[in-house]
Structure 1
């Protein structure tokens, strides 16, 4: 069997600017099962992936990039990483290659996630912490299997299902205070009553409140399983009796009784219940809406199908909601988090009609990070979108609804793209998309850089 390390690629074998990809399928305990998973259905669209669905298996993710933990391949088996390494200036552009420190890989990692159970309560380290974690693992085990890259991992998620639910970032201080005042079970799991009282008395937007929040959150994650189990059962009893007042006005407005029942069904007696529901922003988005998750930002997606894109990394620290043991480190988790209690609206993504859109059919979704932005093209049958000059950098597209024809801007080299199929488009390739079915939606991740010289990134 040919290994990734030994694979030799000869560029003359693949002249097309449109390179279809076989995605990497990631079974995950939080994924939707079988054909209920959009990720699994999309993977099936490319027969060359050699993927067969097990209706009892949860499928959480597909990866459409060149990270070693989940490599995409061309249809004839070339790892995407080897393609890019063979000629980084051709597949990234000289400007992108220089801008991102002469790294011979995409600056971003593009995914589809499909889940009906909460993902682990998690955060992604910044570059400094990622480097330390890599060194620590190498020192202790002699190799890197968990932390395999030194990069940060800010990310965005955009809803492609009708709705998305999740928890992102710490709630505004005033909201946390309101729960501390009306939810007795929350007070019980926080035994340091002096810190709680100081937090309640602190100014909502002050530095003192953030410091006390960290102390309380650390204490919560260290609460014994016995105490969490008892308080979880008491909370569930109140909720099942229909006692909405036990959650206060905010809990009633956000429908948190239903959320609590779901979380406890997914993860009985888990500290993540109190951490997520009462300390974190509960986010509910509709199709096409998205949210940013900066490095060191606590989050846990709950239910939905999303397009996800992030800086090129697979680094994660988790604690709660089935966190994998090799990534479960409460001390590092508490210390790394940003204790910035802000409404989730501050993290919602903005979009506008893309300046390169020839027919006004494509929106650009701005990511608050350097490594990428997103594109969303919507077409009806027979409608066309033309990007005559192409993109000055790499782009990966996936068709999330309907079928489309992709061609060069002049109509040459047509190929049919069916729902779920993925294509890498080489930089500076003018292209045209034409709707084949009644409704077509295509998402893309891309990065551009202009000019000859960029400082290497720290």
Structure 2
């Protein structure tokens, strides 16, 4: 097993203090948005096996079957198929959606054929992979996820008393739900910029007023979030588009799975995030970056429903698993109360992350690593590891 040396990403929306507080380090004054753990080419973790630090991506590429496990290497190729992160949002991320694998393959091939430069600001597909992801809250966490049922959104928009929102509410009531969501979403993203900026401003004022004066209203928390979006992104069409989405609050330990085509945005909080290795993001708003509306409308799934908050389900050996319908990753949690726990499964490579207390990892050969909060380790396939607490350990590996 190897202690990981990881890279912090300093995106503007990140928290200055959340990740340093978990790590027990001094803040740098910069926003520390994400701590990456894995072998993603954008910022691979580093390990030291006695000859100095080397990229985890290079270690895996040198012997994929031994590092990943034969079944994983055969199924996903010679690279770790997931990326684990600590994500710390102080302000909202962009409203976005991810393609499924077939859409990503077709979109990437098309842009390659047309010669769109990989670093072009209008490039949509960075690779040919899908990007399902799971976010698990470490602190109270707030986000937007999936479309709210059309009738409930119509009631919300009418309750704000904004004339510009009435046509959208009427459409949501007059059409079948999927078609109505598509029509309203399209109308918002293709509206005259000045007109939609005015609508966003009035809608945000009304939302702020409702949240402030009627805190017991069923949409008060959502309205407070929409008003906050407008303060961060004044005049952005995404402020109005966000009003179509479910507002979600996660308690520590709860999670959300984001599948293909589901519009979402993280708003605030610290969490553990895991995703398939991909950079494919189609933005819907709340961003100065390129928004490809025609391609976006092809990818978004206009299906309303409950966002589906996940809670970990007990498995054998003290594992608490967050069930997801994909194979590239499996995230689980171990709450270790004292002495040694059961050995961890050994069939595939895994990354182990401590988020509380202090966790000791003991290998079969007598080796030992101690993980304090925010510290992580890479364990190749076949290595038998026994964790001991007290502490909380997240385990990331492939499904199966």
Taking a change above 3 Å as real, the CA distance of residues 237 and 94 of structure 1, as seen in their structure-2 partners, is: closer
- TM-aligned CA deviation for residue 324 of structure 1: 2.5
CA deviation map 1:110-161 (0-9, x unaligned): 1111001111000111122222332344344464346442110111110011
Aligned to 1:384: 340
CA deviation map 1:348-387 (0-9, x unaligned): 22422221x1xx3x3122222121211211223x432121
Unaligned 5+ runs, structure 1: 1-17, 46-51, 203-207, 450-458
Matching of residue 403 in structure 1 with residue 355 in structure 2 = no
Aligned residues: 393
SS in structure 1 at match of 2:33: strand
Aligned to 1:182: 159
- Of 306, 327, 336 in structure 1, the residue corresponding to residue 299 of structure 2 is 336
Aligned to 1:27: 10
- Of 180, 183, 200 in structure 2, the residue corresponding to residue 212 of structure 1 is 180
Aligned to 2:285: 320
Query: Contact 2:68 / 2:80 at 8 angstroms: preserved in 1?
Result: yes
Matching of residue 443 in structure 1 with residue 400 in structure 2 = no
Distance 1:230 1:142 in 2: 34
Query: Contact 2:97 / 2:262 at 8 angstroms: preserved in 1?
Result: yes
- TM-aligned CA deviation for residue 281 of structure 1: 0.6
Aligned to 2:315: 354
- TM-aligned CA deviation for residue 224 of structure 1: 2.6
Alignment of 1:286-301 (within 5 A): 286-301=251-266
Distance 2:93 2:211 in 1: 28
Taking a change above 3 Å as real, the CA distance of residues 331 and 213 of structure 1, as seen in their structure-2 partners, is: same
CA deviation map 1:290-322 (0-9, x unaligned): 011001110001000111111121111102112
Aligned to 1:251: 219
Aligned to 1:205: none
Distance 2:13 2:349 in 1: 31
CA deviation map 1:59-102 (0-9, x unaligned): 211111112122222143211111111111111111122233xx
- TM-aligned CA deviation for residue 287 of structure 1: 0.2
- Of 145, 152, 155 in structure 1, the residue corresponding to residue 130 of structure 2 is 152
Distance 2:384 2:270 in 1: 30
Distance 1:329 1:247 in 2: 37
- TM-aligned CA deviation for residue 179 of structure 1: 2.2
Query: Contact 1:179 / 1:247 at 8 angstroms: preserved in 2?
Result: no
Distance 2:216 2:182 in 1: 23
Query: Contact 2:132 / 2:276 at 8 angstroms: preserved in 1?
Result: yes
Aligned to 1:73: 46
Alignment of 1:360-371 (within 5 A): 360=318, 362-371=319-328
Query: Contact 1:21 / 1:424 at 8 angstroms: preserved in 2?
Result: yes
Normalising by structure 1, we get a TM-score of: 0.79
Distance 2:359 2:215 in 1: 48
Unaligned 5+ runs, structure 2: none
Taking a change above 3 Å as real, the CA distance of residues 68 and 44 of structure 1, as seen in their structure-2 partners, is: farther
- TM-aligned CA deviation for residue 217 of structure 1: 0.5
Distance 2:208 2:136 in 1: 32
Distance 1:261 1:30 in 2: 17
Distance 1:418 1:242 in 2: 43
Distance 1:227 1:215 in 2: 17
SS in structure 2 at match of 1:134: helix
- TM-aligned CA deviation for residue 183 of structure 1: 3.0
Taking a change above 3 Å as real, the CA distance of residues 249 and 93 of structure 1, as seen in their structure-2 partners, is: same
Aligned to 2:367: 413
Aligned to 2:18: 37
- TM-aligned CA deviation for residue 245 of structure 1: 8.3
Distance 1:393 1:119 in 2: 32
Q: Provide the aligned C-alpha RMSD in A.
A: 2.6
Mean CA deviation greater in 294-303 or 20-29: 20-29
Aligned to 1:12: none
Alignment of 1:75-94 (within 5 A): 75=48, 76-94=52-70
Distance 1:323 1:239 in 2: 23
Aligned to 1:15: none
Higher Cα radius of gyration:
1
SS in structure 2 at match of 1:118: coil
SS in structure 1 at match of 2:285: coil
CA deviation map 1:325-358 (0-9, x unaligned): 3xx21221122101110111xx222422221x1x
Query: Contact 1:64 / 1:111 at 8 angstroms: preserved in 2?
Result: yes
Taking a change above 3 Å as real, the CA distance of residues 123 and 181 of structure 1, as seen in their structure-2 partners, is: same
Alignment of 1:102-141 (within 5 A): 103-141=77-115
